[in-house]
Each structure stands twice: as C-alpha cells, then as structure tokens.
A and B are shown apart, each in its own frame.
Chain A
C-alpha cells in the first residue's frame, strides 16, 4: 500500500509504542497498522534500536548528584511527552472538521424546501391581482433601494409640516402641534388645496347665509 494514501501513526505514537509506553487501545491500533505497513515496522524497529543504544550508554555514564538517576529522568521525560500528546489531542478536537451530516439531514431540507415552494405558489395564486402587483412592486423597491433607505424615507419626520383638508375641517400640523379651523353647521363644504402649501374649505354658513372660506397655510420660518 502506498504511503501517500495510507494513514500512518504519528512519530510520537510510534516512539511511545517502541518504548512500550502506549495505552492498551492505542497500542492495539498501532500494532494493527504495523502488521500491514512495513515502512512503519522499520521505523519502530529503528526507534527500539536507538532506545537500546541509549540504555547501554546510560549505564556507562557517571553517577548523577543528589539522588538523581537516569532512569528517573527518563520516566519524567516520558511523562512530559504523554502530557504533551494528551494536550495535542484535546486541541485537535477543535480543529477537526465537523462530522459529515447523516443523509437524513439532506432529505429533511429537501422536504422543507418543497413545502415552502408549494406554500409560496398557493399564496401567490390566491392573492387578488392588485395586491399581488403591489407586493411585487414593494419587493422590487426593497431590492433596488435597499431596505434601510426605504425605511428611512417611509416615515414622515415629526418636524415635517403637513397641511390637511377634509370636509370636516382643515389643519396645519407642525412638530406635533395642530392649528385647525372647523366649520360650523354648514351647507355644501368644498375642499381645495394648493401646491404652495395651503388648504381651504368653503361653505355657506347655515345661520348667516354667508359664503365663508377657511384656509390654513404653512410657510417655513
């Protein structure tokens, strides 16, 4: 089997395996791999040879001071390597790609998409033509002008002065304050507005018979 396509144990794992320091489960996994991978077998064998040579050398080394021994240092180093490996495995959990979703997830998504399409078509066909046109126009406008702009222009600012005329009366609204001219009991009120910012209502006063025209104006100060 080619090395490029086979997943090999890490070097540190092989080193620990060679020294007999791997846990039972890991040891079984590495041994299982070595049974199929001659390349790793050679590497493990090389590590074992190096360990043997090291032990021989340590025997020839002079005594260490203050009750230190080579075997104790070796144990400490091995312990540190284990701690490092454990930490590495813990960190690797965060870097691993999310496990692929089971096939059922795709199926659910397709079902939801289908239901949405069916609902959308049913909703659209049930709309009266005028409302459908209105909705389409509104969506187009949102798309072309961005929703932020539309909201910005949609609301009249409180500072905006509005002149209003209805048969009930006329008024000018400014900063939330209102000046209205109402007509009394009257006959035939006629409403009119001018684009220069005025609104009027004309009526014949039922009591006096006079033709009265009430008007409100707005002119910026």
Chain B
C-alpha cells in the first residue's frame, strides 16, 4: 500500500504541469542606494513555471522600467543576473548599448531568463538582478564592474562613434542616396553572414575520437594595430579547437593592459566563420613580446546536417586597451578587407541604424544621425 502510494506520487510528479510563478519565486532586483538608475516598475506578466520530468522549468519574462537618476546622459547599462542555487558558477548579463537617455528620462529593459533545476531544489528566491555598470556619454562609469562591463560598453561606444562619423561623412559626401545604398549593403551583409552554434568548455577536455593535430594560425595584420601577432597555434580534433597559444608583440609606444584576438575558422568545405575571441589581461610594455594561453575548448556541434571539420585558422587583433584606459579598435578601412567583411558582424550601432532605416526610412535615419554631436 505504502509503496503504491510512493509510485503514484512519483508518477504525478513526472506529469507535465504549468503554473504561474509565485511571488516568492520572482527575481529579486537590488540596485545600490547611490545608483544612477532607479527602478520604476517591474512586470513579470508572462512568467511561468512547469515540470519537465524530475526538473522544474522557470521562465521569467521581466519588463523593467528604469529611470536615469543622474545628471548625465546614459549610453549603456549592464544588469547582472545570477541564480546562486541553480548555477553557482554561472552568471548572466543583459547589456544595452547605443542608448541616448537624458536625465530623468525612462527607458525599458527586457530580461528573458530560463532556469532548469531539480524539482526538489530549495524554493528560495532563485534569481537576483543587480547593476553591474552604467556608462555615461562622457565615458565615465558607475558600478561594481564584476563582469568587465566598463570595457565592453566603452568599446561599443567607441565603435558607435566611429560608425556614426562614417555614415555622417557618407551623407555629407554622397547625399541621402549614398547613405541608403550603405544601409542596404549593411542589411544584405548581415543577412548573408554565416553563423554557427558554439560551445566553450573550460579545461579543454577532449570529447571526441578524432586524432589531434597542431594547427598554426595565419594572421591578418591590420596596418594600424598597436599589437602584432607573431605566432600562434591550437590543437584541433575534428570539430574542436583546444588550448590556443598566441605570441603577441606591442609595437606601440604605450603599455597595453588588455587585448582581444578574433579567431576565424575555415572548414574543409571552404566555409569560414568568426568562431570566437581570445581575450587576455596582460601587462605589455612598449616593444615587449608576450604569450597568451587559454585552457579551454571551442566546439562547433553542428553546421546544418554535417559537423564542422576545421581545416585552418586565421587570427586578427580586434581590440586593445592601453594602460591609460584609452582603446584601439579597427578602422572602417581595416574592416573593409575582404576576409573580415565576410565574417565580421556589423557593430552594435551600425546594426541599430540599419534597423531604423529598414523600419522607419531614410528621413528617420538622417534625423537619428543628426541627434549625436560629432
């Protein structure tokens, strides 16, 4: 009798069910007292939870309304999302860039989060949402910066300024029709750009039977880059690339504290993709050479019906941060090289401007460009 009750209870637990997330299970939003943004409202309208076998699936759809409580314009914001009970080592972030939010203005932030955890897990508040950083139009920053969001948002703002300058010059030199042509090319490039699913596993453990081989990087040298890639290799096994090692040289007259190398892979079918990036925090004096090593594995599970088989790799320096906090990013001219053009996505700002053109037309695009001072 007792065992049949246990069986019945187990069977019931395995049945799929759906429900509204209880108030106690909703994310806890916590901003510092001196935060430059205030939370005006939080709507979790479509959030729900459902059982999937022995697991609980929590779907949070949060629509937050935030207000700029500072006296400066906000260009970017990063919110930190953590679920300590679910993934103690895993965190998430939601970053909005290319903002133009003046003092006391409000702006929306949407967070669509899904958690999968065992049914028996603790029923305490599973998700905490906090502030990781806010970037202002004078490039000053506020926040704990646990996720290096200062650098990420500053790089994005530099790219935005570069691209706005470029499109303004196109408008000035070629008129609206030339700008329209640029936008159409950008939209076509975005639609044609190949993309693929990627996994990163720290530690670089082998997970397939393919024999491993050492593959040298070829390098795409950008003329203005303050860093010169000297040598590099990675261990390749079928669709996995492990433990990349790179040798870089600072050819500028300033010390460098961070750099990122973009990684393009070519498969046996002749296709190429921007696979990922190898970032490095380092202290590289002018003229000095340094080695970068990451003990991680990149996996490309599938590309259509066939797994991707890596044939060759190309690396290029995609960004540099100097010790004085200033940045280097490739110029529009650098990005015009055929190989980069094939694989690189347009910047945040170019993508935003192209969508404005697509949805609202050329006049709205010109007005948007004119909103920003050079």
User: A155 contacts the other chain (Cβ, under 8 Å)?
Assistant: yes
**Given the complex, which residues of B lie within 8 Å of A179, measured CB to CB?**
81, 83, 86-87, 90-92, 113-115
How far apart are B368's CB and chain A's nearest CB, in angstroms?
10
> Do A162 and B199 touch (CB < 8 A)?
yes
User: A204 contacts the other chain (Cβ, under 8 Å)?
Assistant: yes
> Do B108 and A177 touch (CB < 8 A)?
no
User: B338 contacts the other chain (Cβ, under 8 Å)?
Assistant: no
**Given the complex, which residues of A lie within 8 Å of B209, measured CB to CB?**
137-138, 141-142, 150, 154
Q: Of B93, B110, B205, B279, which is within 8 A of A153 by CB?
A: B205
User: A187 contacts the other chain (Cβ, under 8 Å)?
Assistant: yes
User: A194 contacts the other chain (Cβ, under 8 Å)?
Assistant: yes
Tell me the B303-319 residues at the A interface (CB within 8 Å).
none
How far apart are A25's CB and chain B's nearest CB, in angstroms?
65
Tell me the A166-186 residues at the B interface (CB within 8 Å).
166-167, 169-184
> Do B91 and A178 touch (CB < 8 A)?
no
Q: Of B198, B279, B345, which is within 8 A of A190 by CB?
A: B345
B4-12, B167-175, B351-359 - interface stretch? B351-359
> Do A196 and B279 touch (CB < 8 A)?
yes
How far apart are B328's CB and chain A's nearest CB, in angstroms?
18
**Given the complex, which residues of B lie within 8 Å of A205, measured CB to CB?**
110
**Given the complex, which residues of B lie within 8 Å of A40, measured CB to CB?**
none
Range for the number of chain B residues in contact with chain A: 35 or more
User: B230 contacts the other chain (Cβ, under 8 Å)?
Assistant: no
**Given the complex, which residues of B lie within 8 Å of A220, measured CB to CB?**
89, 202
Instruction: Tell whether A211 pairs with B87 under 8 Å between CB atoms, given A183-B112, A194-B277, A204-B352.
Output: no
> Do A180 and B351 touch (CB < 8 A)?
no
Q: Of A174, A191, A193, which is within 8 A of B298 by CB?
A: A193
User: B203 contacts the other chain (Cβ, under 8 Å)?
Assistant: yes
Interface string of A6-17 (1 = CB under 8 A from B): 000000000000
User: B118 contacts the other chain (Cβ, under 8 Å)?
Assistant: yes
> Do A182 and B113 touch (CB < 8 A)?
yes
**Given the complex, which residues of B lie within 8 Å of A160, measured CB to CB?**
201, 203, 205
Tell me the B109-126 residues at the A interface (CB within 8 Å).
110-118
Q: In whole angstroms, how far apart are the Cα atoms of A191 and B203 in the complex?
A: 22
How far apart are B182's CB and chain A's nearest CB, in angstroms?
16
> Do B211 and A208 touch (CB < 8 A)?
no
> Do B200 and A208 touch (CB < 8 A)?
no
Instruction: Tell whether A211 pairs with B294 under 8 Å between CB atoms, given A184-B112, A217-B91.
Output: no
How far apart are B281's CB and chain A's nearest CB, in angstroms?
9
Residues on B close to A: CB < 8 A?
Answer: 81, 83, 86-99, 107-108, 110-118, 147, 152, 190-191, 195-203, 205-211, 244, 274-279, 294, 296, 298, 345, 348-349, 351-352, 355-356, 358-359
Apart from the given pairs A213-B94, A217-B92, 11 other A-B contacts in the complex at a CB distance below 8 Å? A160-B203, A163-B201, A165-B199, A174-B89, A177-B87, A179-B92, A180-B114, A182-B112, A193-B277, A202-B348, A221-B88
Pairs A–B under 8 Å by Cβ, sample size 22: A163-B90, A163-B200, A165-B198, A174-B88, A174-B90, A177-B116, A179-B83, A179-B87, A181-B81, A182-B113, A194-B276, A194-B277, A195-B279, A197-B202, A198-B200, A202-B351, A204-B351, A204-B355, A208-B110, A211-B348, A214-B95, A215-B95
Query: Which 10 pairs show the lowest CB-CB distances between chains A and B?
Result: A172-B90, A195-B294, A166-B197, A178-B116, A193-B276, A180-B114, A190-B345, A211-B348, A182-B112, A213-B95
